[in-house]
Structure 1
Amino acid sequence: MKPMRALALPAFLLAPALAAAAEVDGGQLSVLWGVPFAGVLLSIALLPLLAPHFWHRHFGKVTAGWALAFLLPFAAVFGPAAATAGLVHALVAEYLPFVILLTALFTVAGGIYIRGNLHGSAVLNTAILAIGAVLASFMGTTGASMLLIRPLIRANDGRKHVTHVVVFFIFVVSNAGGSLTPLGDPPLFLGFLKGVDFFWTFQHIWPETLFMVGVLLGLFFAVDAWFWRQPGERGAVDPTPDTARETFGFDGKVNFALLGVVVGLVLMSGIWKSEVQWNVMGTPIGLPGLVRDAGLILVTLVSVARTPRQVHEDNQFNWGPMQEVAKLFAGIFLTIIPVIAMLKAGVHGPFGAIVAAVTRPDGSPDPAMYFWASGLLSSFLDNAPTYLVFFNTAGGDAMTLMTTQVATLAAISAGSVFMGANTYIGNAPNLMVKAIAEDRGVAMPSFFGYMLWSVGILMPLFVVITFIWLR
């Protein structure tokens, strides 16, 4: 036994018992255990419409209430040990790394101010979306979204119609653009940790990505150019008028270096293999992940300390959007526990029909069904664990999936990333962009209103992808 591991054991003698208690068989669960998760989703969807003032003031309490509606009955039925172990696993293994990375990217990107008297013409807006699509696969959809959403909104301050600009930004930059490398989106990073080669997704789903991004950019340009030509479109009152001519440039340049550190830390945690780990109440915490998270916290603190106050003021930077995402996803990560367990139970679980649907009568995987199943579930569940569920359903062996089952892995990857754009909660940057846009006065669609956009625009593209690449 390694010395470090031996030293770690005495502090967590109860970990094996708790780990065993936490392994609840999803096949034995009732679908009623999914009610708190459904409650969180419905609260996000309906309360901003039915009781906007109440939701704005108390969304954290509502989310906490649904979390307790799952946790307390779970503890009563399966025991406090199982509930504690499940809570610790969701907190330590999933939620904290997720929030720490988002906070670092939110802070670093919010510390970069793009100067210049930008005017949101169709050409400029399309160019920003195209640049964001490229950046998303290399600095993450969250990083690219947080870097570009503020200057994009500022460029369109004087326009009458801005909602469509932000919606297409979510489609392109916050989702589809992040499909080419493990740095782009969390599901692909989990695949990288499971053994999928770094450039595998680039090699195998670039045609689908080029199709998605290209069609969306073309459609956006046509829509935005039409609005741009309408009488009164550029006559709206500019809430943040340009008082002087500014040359194009960047302020807060130190954050570019910090952004490189973030990318390096994430990449390091996937490449570095270490036997040193600690067991926290049944959840293993490896040294690479611990170093990554500590480094990301340090990056966040350095960015706050080193970014000039004027840059944050110019960006209208505040912690509201990050706090909203952190609170909402805390409830999502906790209440999703039984839902993921039921999915992992496969054909023998409550959602067996979904799992069975991805297999052909001869027992071979059906790439088209994997694409739609992983994608539609990723629209409402966290797309990272959903990716893992179908990755394991397809066999879970990275080498086999990268060779003899190329189409299946491509389908899972594309579905998990592309269809994260279907709802505000399909991917974390969606909700962050919405919160920033609303904070800047943009009238964003409701939960279901946004889905009207995604169903009308994205679904036909997914059908085309199915018939061209996944038959």
Structure 2
Amino acid sequence: MTTTKAAARAVLCLVVPRFSLPRLSFRSLALVTALLAGATLPAHAAEGMGIDGAHLPLLWGLPFVGMLLSIAIIPLLAGNFWHHHYGKVALFWALAFLVPFVATYGAGLATYEVAHAALLEYIPFIILLFALFTISGGILLTGNLHGSPGVNTALLAIGTVLASLIGTTGASMVLIRPLLRANDERRFNVHTVVFFIFLVSNIGGSLTPLGDPPLFLGFLKGVDFFWTTQHLFHDTAVVAVLLLGAFYLLDRHFYAREEKLPRKPDPTPDTERLGLRGLCNLPLLGGVIAAILMSALWKPGIEFTLFGTHVPLPSIARDLSLLALAGISIWITPAFIRERNGFDWEPIREVAKLFAAIFLTIIPVIAILRAGADGALAPLVALVTDEAGGPVNAGYFWMTGLLSGFLDNAPTYLVFFNLAGGDAQELMTRHAVTLEAISAGAVFMGALTYIGNAPNFMVLAIAKSRGVAMPSFFGYMAWSGLFLLPCFALLTWLYFL
């Protein structure tokens, strides 16, 4: 065990020198091994042969449901246990799916499905998050903003715009710490983080393919780069204005209540002027954007086949570039900047472990959804199709959105993109409203739960580490239901009926 851990650290240290690596526990390695189990299974998968979701019973979704319920319930009932053992819980549910799957369908099919999920979804997903988390963690806003309703609303508005330029993860990591510092003398600050997740970690990323993974997948499928800017601008503007207005009024209410209470000491004194440190990381964020664009625009026609999964050369180049950019950030950023940011690896470590299990256990659920009317979830598919076989745009918006709130929104987007025909040119023109509904649902409703989008979890972990009493899984859903669902109902009435 010690040799395995030492080897893993040595390899990573070669990739990024001077990298103060997060501690690699054996259960962390085991969880990643579970996701990549197909690489070590003895049988070879038949190339291009995936699981037939039409013949899968819903019983195969139980590990995924168990994973979601664990995230929702265990922190509420046994917070200390979850904090120390969430990796073991994730590994349990990953193996609860993988072991019977191998026993039932054989090592070959398991190899293909697990390798496909790991190579095309999980690994690129976590590398992108890791790069944005690492680079943005090296940018420090110095000085002390005071979290008045006006200042907080302005920060949320800036973050909403920034999310479509550097991604929801990048914008969340750049702004969440300054926002927390600005409000660290406030007694009521939970609502500020909740609305930050709504706007910066989700809704703000709707205007470009760089903003959120579902839109990037659409870009790879042929959707024009600025199509979402043109067709989702009005949706985004309506929701953002409503939420910013609601937040301002709510923050004014809490701010007025605090003025009647004894003043709380400010942990961040006004001893330094406002400024921005770690500017060397800004070109690196530009490099992340360039690497993503390169992977979509560069078409050399070269790909590698691993366990039946085709991995294009541009995707490999993108992921290696992102790792290199993260390593450069660690190399050139002075240590005191990350220390003053309160930067640590726990948020990305938690996301990596939990989403490894989610990406694994979601395999049969996505397969059933892909089967459409022939699968066990046919009643859900019927909600997006009218009697003449045409699309029901409101159904696409709500079904894509609600499933994105509990499944990963990127594969959910792809399922409904393909269900609507899968032809980008036709969807952008003849069925533009349908594509708009799918895109808006996948991005906007990722804000419904903590697991709807990866930045949600990162912001949650950072806020909790700073002492913010964040709501439980279901408590957060009460917030999102109260403020988000009316906005989405209005969008439905305005644009999708």
TM-score per shorter chain, which class? Answer: over 0.9
Q: SS at 1:79's partner residue?
A: helix
TM-score, normalised to structure 1's length? 0.95
**Which structure 2 residues correspond to residues 105-144 of structure 1 after superposition, within 5 A?**
105-144=132-171
Cα distance between partner residues in 2 of 1:442 and 1:348: 46
Cα distance between partner residues in 2 of 1:284 and 1:50: 43
Return closer, same or farther for 1:179/1:15 CA change in 2, 3 Å cut-off: farther
**How big is each residue's C-alpha offset from its partner over 1:150-193, in whole Å with a ceiling of 9 and x where there is no partner?**
00000000000010000000001011100011000000000000
Which residue of the partner structure matches residue 155 of structure 1? 182
Which residue of the partner structure matches residue 195 of structure 2? 168
**Which structure 2 residues correspond to residues 260-409 of structure 1 after superposition, within 5 A?**
260-409=286-435
Q: SS at 1:279's partner residue?
A: strand
Cα distance between partner residues in 2 of 1:147 and 1:92: 28
* 8 Å contact from structure 1 (residues 112, 253) kept in 2: yes
Return closer, same or farther for 1:16/1:277 CA change in 2, 3 Å cut-off: farther
Return closer, same or farther for 1:132/1:21 CA change in 2, 3 Å cut-off: closer
Q: CA deviation at 1:24?
A: 1.1
Which deviates more, 269-278 or 395-404? Answer: 269-278
Which residue of the partner structure matches residue 6 of structure 1? none
Cα distance between partner residues in 1 of 2:112 and 2:331: 36
Task: Identify the match of residue 54 of structure 2 among 1, 5, 27.
Answer: 27
| Equivalent residue letter for 2:301 | E
CA-based RMSD of the aligned residues comes to 1.5
Paired positions, count: 457
**Which structure 2 residues correspond to residues 415-430 of structure 1 after superposition, within 5 A?**
415-430=441-456
**Which structure 2 residues correspond to residues 429-440 of structure 1 after superposition, within 5 A?**
429-440=455-466
Which residue of the partner structure matches residue 4 of structure 1? none
Q: CA deviation at 1:237?
A: 3.8
Cα distance between partner residues in 1 of 2:44 and 2:368: 22
Cα distance between partner residues in 1 of 2:95 and 2:79: 23
* 8 Å contact from structure 2 (residues 219, 225) kept in 1: yes
Q: CA deviation at 1:233?
A: 5.8
Task: Identify the match of residue 86 of structure 1 among 113, 136, 148.
Answer: 113
Give percent identity, aligned residues only: 57
Cα distance between partner residues in 2 of 1:52 and 1:152: 25
Which residue of the partner structure matches residue 83 of structure 2? 56
Cα distance between partner residues in 1 of 2:383 and 2:48: 31
Cα distance between partner residues in 1 of 2:455 and 2:221: 24
Cα distance between partner residues in 2 of 1:375 and 1:154: 32
Return closer, same or farther for 1:257/1:468 CA change in 2, 3 Å cut-off: same
* 8 Å contact from structure 1 (residues 265, 296) kept in 2: yes
* 8 Å contact from structure 1 (residues 129, 172) kept in 2: yes
Unaligned runs of 5+ in 2: 1-38
Cα distance between partner residues in 2 of 1:104 and 1:375: 27
Q: SS at 1:250's partner residue?
A: strand
Which residue of the partner structure matches residue 34 of structure 2? none
Q: CA deviation at 1:268?
A: 1.1
Q: SS at 2:305's partner residue?
A: strand
Cα distance between partner residues in 1 of 2:244 and 2:253: 14
Cα distance between partner residues in 2 of 1:234 and 1:97: 49
Cα distance between partner residues in 2 of 1:336 and 1:241: 43
**How big is each residue's C-alpha offset from its partner over 1:81-133, in whole Å with a ceiling of 9 and x where there is no partner?**
11122221111111110000000000111000001221100111000000001
Q: CA deviation at 1:229?
A: 1.3
**Which structure 2 residues correspond to residues 230-249 of structure 1 after superposition, within 5 A?**
230=257, 231-232=259-260, 235-238=263-266, 240-242=267-269, 244-249=270-275
Cα distance between partner residues in 1 of 2:47 and 2:399: 30
Which residue of the partner structure matches residue 252 of structure 1? 278
